[in-house]
């Protein structure tokens, strides 16, 4: 992957940054600002007008949750100012809303609105809202325009970009889904100021992931700016969010639908992380970023057992995650249950569990090389009670 352009630091101190996602006729822009409450309306209109279906948009359903319903109402007002009549639908906060039942409620809402194929779905919230709203946008009338306005760090740097939308089933996360690119992503980092500290830390797990998988110098930067990120210094936040979006956009533009295997690199920490979520229970003791944090450490240890890396990488990773207040283990979970949950991972092939493991900092590889014995050792360490 390419290094950050030389002028990125200068750009990050400006009022806003734009990161393009080049996907031919599905290309779109990610706009990153800090405190621009009036900018969303014009951005939404221009993003919709750049798409064939969006040019006729006069109706929108704004999907949100109770935590950010006030912000979603302001987005609806901004849409009204652009000639788009918007209704707000608030779902209960939490992973439990990412379900087929909740999707059906939203689909029925669109039907009641008499929404046609030019109606837009706007997601204002975190990853759950984005995935759910995106799934609804992908399935209503076989696909309607989607706008993302992520309000959590995790959603801003990861789930809002790239077009993967899904809902959960009790046994597996994100198992029912689609590829449906947004027409635009609006990121106002001021939305992070009201984020609970735990949610902010969860987003940092995905930030760290980008450094491990694609950009060693970015990992260095995250180590240096960890305190500034947690303090939400605007210039630092914009720069970090923009770099994550750049890295993900580059991967997505080369492997939009996971056909070449390149996009799988974004799943470092997620094979074990998703298993932790499933076994612990969605909405349980591990939020997504926390599960990914512990999963990254465990998968780095797997790479150690294969002889791909020495223990310095996993130790350095663990130290950074602890500095950010994130877990590096999942004590008390059943290793057998974790192993069973991993058999449902979407990366698997031929009945073999596949992992994204580091070869070095900034370079990872998709592999099924770990044996069951390797897994049992690492899962045993992962779930052992803290000393």
Active site residue 206: yes
- Residue 227 is encoded by which pair of tokens? 């305190």
Active site residue 164: yes
Active site residue 201: no
Catalytic residue among 98, 239, 270, 346: 270
Catalytic residue among 31, 98, 248, 354: 248
Strand 59-65, strand 28-33: pairing: unpaired
Asked if residue 190 lies in contact with residue 238, where contact means CB atoms within 8 angstroms, the answer is no
Catalytic residue among 164, 180, 238, 239: 164
270 is in an annotated binding site: yes
130 is in an annotated binding site: yes
Catalytic residue among 263, 301, 346, 347: 263
- Residue 56 is encoded by which pair of tokens? 């006729």
Catalytic residue among 243, 288, 301, 347: 288
Catalytic residue among 223, 258, 365, 376: 258
162 is in an annotated binding site: no
Active site residue 31: no
Catalytic residue among 67, 168, 174, 267: 267
Catalytic residue among 199, 206, 246, 277: 206
Active site residue 224: no
Residue 142 CB-density burial (10 A; 0-12 exposed, 13-18 middle, 19+ buried): exposed
127 is in an annotated binding site: yes
21 is in an annotated binding site: no
DSSP string, 177-192: EEE---SEEEEEGGGG
Asked if residue 170 lies in contact with residue 143, where contact means CB atoms within 8 angstroms, the answer is no
Active site residue 277: no
Active site residue 142: yes
Strand 146-150, strand 184-188: pairing: parallel
Active site residue 221: no
332 is in an annotated binding site: no
Strand 146-150, strand 120-125: pairing: parallel
307 is in an annotated binding site: no
In 138-208, the DSSP E strands lie at: 146-150, 164-169, 172-179, 184-188
Active site residue 346: no
Q: How far is CA 159 from CA 127, 156, 353, in A?
A: 6, 7, 23
173 is in an annotated binding site: yes
152 is in an annotated binding site: yes
Active site residue 270: yes
151 is in an annotated binding site: yes
Please report, in range form, the residues annotated as the binding site for NAD(+).
Answer: 127-131, 151-152, 164, 173
* Residues in the annotated binding site for Zn(2+): 206, 270, 288
Q: Which residues are catalytic?
A: 142, 164, 206, 248, 258, 263, 267, 270, 274, 288
């Amino acid at each position: 992957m390419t290094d950050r352009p030389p002028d990125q630091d200068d750009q990050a101190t400006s009022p806003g940054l734009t990161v393009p996602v080049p996907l031919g006729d599905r290309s779109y822009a990610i706009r990153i600002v800090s405190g621009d409450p009036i900018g969303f309306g014009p951005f939404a209109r221009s993003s919709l007008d750049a798409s064939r279906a969006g040019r006729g948009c006069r109706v929108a359903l704004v999907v949100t949750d109770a935590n950010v319903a006030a912000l979603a109402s302001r987005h609806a007002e901004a849409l009204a100012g652009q000639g788009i009549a918007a209704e707000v639908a608030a779902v209960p906060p939490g992973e439990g809303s990412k379900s087929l039942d909740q999707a059906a409620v939203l689909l029925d809402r669109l039907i009641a609105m008499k929404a046609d194929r030019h109606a837009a779905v706007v997601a204002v919230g975190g990853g759950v809202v984005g995935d759910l709203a995106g799934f609804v946008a992908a399935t209503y009338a076989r696909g309607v325009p989607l706008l993302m306005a992520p309000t959590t760090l995790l959603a801003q740097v990861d789930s809002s970009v790239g077009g993967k939308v899904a809902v959960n089933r009790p046994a597996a996360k994100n198992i029912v889904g689609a590829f449906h690119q947004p027409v635009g992503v609006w990121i106002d980092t001021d939305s992070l100021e009201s984020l609970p500290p735990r949610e902010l830390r969860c987003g940092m797990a995905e930030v760290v992931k980008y450094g491990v998988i694609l950009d060693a110098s970015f990992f260095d930067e995250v180590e240096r700016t960890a305190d500034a990120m947690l303090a939400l210094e605007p210039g630092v936040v914009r720069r970090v969010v923009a770099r994550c979006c750049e890295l993900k956009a580059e991967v997505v533009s080369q492997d939009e639908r996971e056909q070449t295997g390149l996009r799988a690199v974004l799943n470092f920490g997620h094979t074990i992380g998703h298993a932790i979520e499933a076994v612990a229970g969605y909405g349980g003791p591990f939020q997504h970023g926390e599960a990914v944090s512990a999963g990254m450490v465990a998968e780095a240890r797997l790479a150690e057992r294969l002889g791909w890396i020495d223990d310095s990488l996993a130790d350095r990773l663990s130290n950074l995650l602890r500095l950010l207040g994130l877990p590096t283990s999942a004590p008390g979970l059943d290793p057998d249950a974790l192993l069973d949950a991993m058999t449902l991972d979407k990366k698997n092939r031929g009945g073999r569990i596949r992992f994204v493991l580091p070869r070095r900092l900034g370079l990872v590889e998709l592999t099924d090389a770990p044996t069951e014995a390797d897994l049992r050792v690492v899962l045993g360490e992962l779930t052992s009670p803290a000393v």
